[in-house]
Amino acid sequence: MDLCDKCGNPQIIIKRKQSGQMLCQECFIKAIQEKVLKDIRRQKLVTKGDKVLVALSGGKDSVMVLDILNNLRERRIIDLVAVTIDEGICGYREDGVDIAAQNTELLGVKHRIVSFKDYLGRTLDEIMADSGDRNACTYCGVFRRWILNQVAREEGATKIATGHNLDDETQSIMMNYMEGNIQNLTRIGVKSESSCEGFTVKIKPLREIPERETALYVMARDLPVHLAGCPYAGDSFRAKIRDFLQEINQEHPTIMYSTLRGFDKIKPVLKKEFSRQNKLGVCRECGEPAAAELCKACSFRKQWKKE
Amino acid sequence: MDLCDKCGNPQIIIKRKQSGQMLCQECFIKAIQEKVLKDIRRQKLVTKGDKVLVALSGGKDSVMVLDILNNLRERRIIDLVAVTIDEGICGYREDGVDIAAQNTELLGVKHRIVSFKDYLGRTLDEIMADSGDRNACTYCGVFRRWILNQVAREEGATKIATGHNLDDETQSIMMNYMEGNIQNLTRIGVKSESSCEGFTVKIKPLREIPERETALYVMARDLPVHLAGCPYAGDSFRAKIRDFLQEINQEHPTIMYSTLRGFDKIKPVLKKEFSRQNKLGVCRECGEPAAAELCKACSFRKQWKKE
């Protein structure tokens, strides 16, 4: 009979293919929490006194980040604030916002809900109704980062934590290898590094946790999560890579780790050689950090004004 | 109606997804030959007076390499010799050897057939019958390289040309990215670079030609080719990556090129940083180049002697 490798409990909830380890619910929760907290320490993702803004969509990954970082808040190592961005996606985002609110209430963490409508004057639905040419994810990603960075400053946050897991990160690495996009590769990592003022460092505490374990964690912890998929999701290149990685992971259960480890060895070398001396400037419209005269968000917004 | 982009012939045999270009049989053959000869020149794969040994299995890729390099032989720029290795795979290799012979006869190129049995004392079938533990491809690859390198010296060859195409190369790059095998990555390229004496430089003239175009080329040229698959083929990791790349290539027809271009930018940086100062030594058994005291081939052979 299968028994928990830690405590001998016969009710195991996971057999880790990558290591053969079997764990019961309680030991799995503990093992995951310890692993993430250890990664945070080892990679110096936070320092005492940090105010961490959690980008909380209500999905399993961001709910898990909030739950684990709350441990550091309870121990008064960091302060926390959660922000949910309401993109204005009718029939989808409302539930995510509710669930995010349940989670913050449960933990007693301050929660802000900010909307595309308030910051941009348009919901994502309105943006997409007007523009057939571009992928929703392109707009949405640019605007979410733009808003998040502003809210971080408004809140006096010193870090922004996102829920990117091992699968997400490996997909990004593979996409950029395959597209030959070396510039993007130099920016992938557990911690965004920017010397630019006005730019809040982003951290990914779940970067080493496989997606199936983030799903299992929120179930095991019985946390409310928003499971619906975004109706605009249609990034087929990423979806293809995700499917491939998941499939190959069946027979090669350490493949995402080896991809990540290989990349982490390559990255500093690429950075040294290829990263432009990109002293980010400041957008002349909004004052946010920008690679060009206008930041991406303002260059999209300018197009609307012309219409 | 679709017409050849070069000559207007309505009988087109290819519509290149990556560029939209349509070509008739004659213009396709000419375009491919020009492309490969241009790549050879641009990348300085041969110099006047080289004696190039073609590793000729009889499969479509090696037959194509022989056919195109023969153009340089006819123009007296290089000399050619073809070598077919008979691994001793019953019911499979015999046909390949015959077809290789047909091709060299057609062109009037010197042809040598060398066997595992002669060089190792055992056929691959005999090796595999004795050893259940290891993948046939591991043995076969090591021994083929070992024999090829010896034959190259016996023939006074200055280069060894292989039929690796764009798909093969992209697969190798992806495999090593995913396995995090940086050392191997530093050795992938259009031309093997080794300062070691006794090591003949290997070149891959078809590195930028997609697999489907090598197949189409030998058909268009009506060259005899061996189409059967090796009965030992079972490298499932490579096969999975091949299937994935081919599938994604349907919608992203430049993906293999962008992977290759990205890698070619990264590689020199990796080489500078990661390639061990691997001054290859010489194997104490056979005198061939070796990374350790014994080369891989001799270390396998030593195991047999013990048996």
State mean pLDDT over B287-303: 90
- What is the interface pTM, i.e. ipTM, of the complex? 0.91
Residue of B nearest to A264 (CA): B180
Residue A277 has pLDDT above 60, yes or no: no
How far apart CA B288 and CA B296 sit, in angstroms, is 10
For residue A173, what are the contacts with CB-CB under 8 A and spacing of at least 6? Answer: A185, A188, A259, A260, A263
How far apart CA B40 and CA A301 sit, in angstroms, is 49
Contact between A158 and A79 (Cβ < 8 Å):
no
Nearest 5°: the CA angle B227, B231, B237 is 95
Query: What is the arrangement of strands in the sheet containing B201-203, beginning at the earlier edge strand?
Result: B110-115, B79-86, B51-55, B159-161, B201-203
Using one digit for the tens of pLDDT, what is the confidence trace for B94-136? Answer: 999 999 999 999 999 999 999 999 999 999 999 998 876 678 8
How far apart CA B281 and CA B273 sit, in angstroms, is 21
**Which of A182, A266, A272, A274 best probes binding to B when mutated, by most B CB atoms within 10 angstroms?**
A266
Contact between B166 and B36 (Cβ < 8 Å):
no
Most confident residue range from A283-292, B150-159, B282-291: B150-159
Nearest 5°: the CA angle B285, B87, B179 is 75
State mean pLDDT over A10-24: 94
Which residue among B180, B237, B258 places its CB closest to the CB of A180?
Answer: B258
Residue B279 has pLDDT above 90, yes or no: no
Per-residue pLDDT at B1: 83
Contact between B56 and B62 (Cβ < 8 Å):
yes
Contact flag B262-A177 (C-beta cutoff 8 Å): yes
Residue B7 has a CB neighbour count (10 Å cut-off) of: 11
- Binding site for Zn(2+): what residues of A are annotated? 4, 7, 24, 27, 283, 286, 295, 298
CA dihedral A253, A257, A260, A261 (to 10 degrees): -130
Per-residue pLDDT at A12: 95
Strand partners, B282: B289
Least confident of A50-59, A138-147, A163-172, B79-88: A138-147
Element containing residue B81 per DSSP (H, E)? strand B79-86
What's at B108, amino acid-wise? Answer: G
How far apart CA A173 and CA A185 sit, in angstroms, is 7
Per-residue pLDDT at A233: 82
Residue A144 has a CB neighbour count (10 Å cut-off) of: 17
Pairing label, strands B12-15, B22-24: antiparallel
Per-residue pLDDT at B307: 63
Which residue among A178, A244, A265 places its CB closest to the CB of B182?
Answer: A265
How far apart CA A111 and CA A92 sit, in angstroms, is 19
Determine the number of helices (DSSP H) and then strands (DSSP E) in chain A.
12, 9
Contact flag A262-B179 (C-beta cutoff 8 Å): yes
DSSP one-letter code for A66: H
Closest CA to A272 of B177, B266, B276, B185: B266
Per-residue pLDDT at B289: 85
- Binding site for ATP: what residues of B are annotated? 55-57, 61, 85, 163, 168
Using one digit for the tens of pLDDT, what is the confidence trace for B163-206? Answer: 999 999 999 999 999 999 999 999 999 999 766 777 899 999 99
Per-residue pLDDT at B280: 73
Element containing residue B263 per DSSP (H, E)? helix B255-274
Residue B218 has pLDDT above 60, yes or no: yes
Residue A180 has pLDDT above 60, yes or no: yes
How far apart CA B229 and CA B129 sit, in angstroms, is 20
State mean pLDDT over A268-290: 84
Closest CA to B161 of B203, B104, B208, B113: B203
**pLDDT band for position A235 (cuts 50, 70, 90):** low
Per-residue pLDDT at B277: 57
Min Cα separation B254/chain A (Å): 9
Contact flag B262-A237 (C-beta cutoff 8 Å): no
Q: At what angle do helices B255-274 and A166-179 cross, to 10 degrees?
A: 100
Per-residue pLDDT at B197: 74
Per-residue pLDDT at A290: 87
Identify the burial level of B207 via C-beta atoms within 10 angstroms of its C-beta, where 0-12 means exposed, 13-18 middle and 19 or more buried: buried
Per-residue pLDDT at B235: 65
Residue A305 has pLDDT above 70, yes or no: yes
Min Cα separation A173/chain B (Å): 10
Per-residue pLDDT at B86: 97
Contact flag A266-B181 (C-beta cutoff 8 Å): no
- Domain residues of chain B, as ranges? 46-275, 276-307
Pairing label, strands B159-161, B201-203: parallel
How far apart CA B73 and CA B163 sit, in angstroms, is 17
Element containing residue B22 per DSSP (H, E)? strand B22-24
What class has domain B46-275? alpha beta
Closest CA to A204 of A168, A248, A155, A171: A168
Per-residue pLDDT at A197: 74
**pLDDT band for position A307 (cuts 50, 70, 90):** low
More confident residue, B198 or A104: A104
**pLDDT band for position A303 (cuts 50, 70, 90):** confident
How far apart CA A258 and CA A260 sit, in angstroms, is 5
* Domain A43-226+235-275, CATH number (from 3.40.50.620, 3.20.20.70, 2.30.29.30, 3.40.50.10470): 3.40.50.620
How far apart CA A31 and CA A40 sit, in angstroms, is 14
Residue B223 has pLDDT above 90, yes or no: yes
Residue A198 has pLDDT above 80, yes or no: no
Least confident of A139-153, A241-255, B82-96, B183-197: B183-197
